[in-house]
Structure 1
Amino acid sequence: MKGLVQRVSHASIVVDGETIGEIDNGILLLLGVEKDDTPEKASKLLDKVLKYRMFSDEEGKMNCSVTDIEGGVLVVSQFTLVAETRKGLRPSFSSGASPALGKELYNQFVNMAKARHPKVSTGRFGADMKVSLLNDGPVTFMLEV
């Protein structure tokens, strides 16, 4: 399971002209599910996302997590994140989860996130989403478990 986290001042998702998810200060998480992923891996990644110190403290050092700053988390399913890109000029998705497993683990991740963090918003699995964000920094990290 892979999570690309971006520190944002705000972010939103629009599907069919309607805003379905948005946050202010926090993390935009692009979530990629691979075929060997499990609910345990989802839980480990969520723990890392919520505790990862990527926000500045009073001295300007990255010592605070999204939990510490009481920021939002916007979770977006991102199938292309698990693409193999080392060879050739066309991505391979052979390590990606099936749509059924991807949706199941994405939903489990979101449910766990909502149970553990007060400000969680989402996109819509499998939808054509328009994602807008203001990356703060920019600060972006790839988290894997």
Structure 2
Amino acid sequence: MTLSGGALSHVHRLFWDELGMCACGDPDTARVLVRDLLALAPFHEHPRAEVVALIGTEGAFHLVLTMLENVGLIDHGFTLNGSWLTDKGRWYLQALQQIDDWSVIDADGIGSPEHECTDACWTAAVSAQPPL
């Protein structure tokens, strides 16, 4: 399925502006990691070892999940092991699961949205242009 230009620009913003990724190396593996981690949430439903194995090490587990929380995709209570998806995280999971060619995020003309998102963005259908 192809996402609308508005949804693609939000995905572009997540990776380039919010997470600060660059195009060197293999950014597609990082995008797959984010998608797959969001799909495992809530993490309390999976053995910690399963989540750590996906990320690589205990240190990376803490760092990566903290980054996902800092950009508002997950939240946690007492421990990162119990993290769950926020509305924003659910919206991005749905969007990322629809992308089978990651190069669409980097295509000419796909940039970050010109407006800042409100909570209403994350309740809109992924296929629709997120509201202002």
Per the normalisation by structure 1, the TM-score is: 0.27
Greater helix fraction, Structure 1 or Structure 2: 2
Per the normalisation by structure 2, the TM-score is: 0.29
